[in-house]
Structures are given as structure tokens and as C-alpha cells.
Homo-oligomer: A and B are copies of this chain.
């Protein structure tokens, strides 16, 4: 498995090119919840895919990445995995794809997860939890054009429980960032940085000048685009700002796609001024 190139892997140069062409760092999060999608779609054979198709069509002009939150699909069992696969196949091949799956286990098991999200389902990247250390992360770094996006600082209240605890001279998440960064390169590792405060973003960027950060927490969770762009951009942009609920549930009823298109456009316009 290691060393092979699977379909659709996207290297850094291609990602950066797309970001600059679109003047956007918008990642649209497909956290598709059947209880929240427009009701007319529930008559479709695959309602989750029908919704995602509408969202992708409405946002692909502005999005440089799509993030599929696997939990929402897994909860539907086999049907959900089929919706996920249809969605992944429908995403234009020049847009970066993220399996937001938060996986990580001992080496032989992480290898199976890498197979799942790089081969069985040919994503460009998968989110990875760092708690189990090097041998849990390294199996995700063996694929050309594929990325591990490792949890650094998350955007939820629980991040204070462990990530923000003092460990020696630094906070735990700072140790995670610098340690994990040493296992790969800015070409195969990104980090989840759910920072919404200026100082935190500046500090993390100073710690890791070259890496891409996947930044959740904008929109429903309270973060804002300007603060992230102003404080975390590097020469390659270096961030992907994820918005889930703020885009995908921006519309309602049969005309939901027009409002979703408008929401994505607004986010892209906020981002464009930083290029």
C-alpha cells in the first residue's frame, strides 16, 4: 500500500493553485443531517446525496475544499456510507476533499483507516486524533498527494480539558503541533486549529510558519473570517476555513440552493480581500 498513488490525491502545489485562482480558502462542511435538510428532499431515493448535490452545485464556484463529516453518514449505517460515496464521487476532481473522521489507533489499525479513506474512498485527506502518538499518525503519511490533518487546537469548550493544559514549558496542543510536525512535512500534514482569537492564531502561525491549518469554528460556532485571514495567512494562504452550518443550512424550502450560493459567495468575498 505505501508508496502507491491513488486516484485523486492532491498535492500542495495543486491546492495552492486552486486557492489563488478562486481567491478563496472556503471549505464547505457537509455535516448533512436528515432532520435539517429541506423537507421536499426526503422524497428522493437518497435524500442526503440529493441535498449534498444541491450544496455542491451551489458552492463549487467558491469552495476550494469539501469536508465530509463521516459521523453523520455512519449514523445511517450502510445507506449513509452509500450517500457518502456518491457525494465524494460528485465533488469536482479539482477540489480538495477531507474525510473528517478523527481516526487514530495502533499502527496496524491506522493502516486500515488509511486504506479506508485513501483507497476504498479516495479522499485527499483525513482528520486524525493525536493522543496515541507517532505510530498512530505515521501510517497516514505514506501516500503521495494524501494528507493527515491532525487535531491541534479544537474549537469546542472541551479543548480546555487537556489541549490547553500546561505540559512542561508549553501547552499540550503546542507540544502536539511541534511533535507531529516533525513526523512529516508541510506537504503531507495539516493541523486542525480551531482558534478564534487573534493572539492564539498569531502564536500558532509563528510556531508553524509553513503548514496549512484547517480552521473550524467559523459561523455557527462564533469565529470570523477576517480574524483568521489577518492573523494566520502565509504566502500560500495556508488556511482552509471550514463553514458547515453557516453555508449548508443558509437556505430553506425548494429554493434553498440560491440562498446557499449567496452565503458561500459572501464568505468568498470576505476572503478575496486577503489575496
Contacts and interface: CB of A to CB of B under 8 A. Distances in A.
A12 to B, nearest CB: 25
A255 interface: no
A227 interface: no
B129 A102 contact: yes
Given A82-B78, A131-B162, A162-B130, A154 B106 contact: yes
Given A134-B161, A162-B130, A156 B75 contact: no
A163 B120 contact: no
Interface string A99-115: 01011111111101101
B161 A74 contact: no
A112 B175 contact: no
Copies in the complex: 2
Q: Which of A103, A133, A175 has the most CB of B within 10 A?
A: A133
Interface bracket on A: 35 or more
Contacts of A166: 167-168
B130 A71 contact: no
Nearest to A73: B112
A89 interface: no
A263 interface: no
A110 B158 CA distance: 12
- The 6 A-B pairs at the shortest CB distance, nearest first, are namely A133-B158, A133-B161, A71-B112, A135-B158, A134-B158, A106-B156
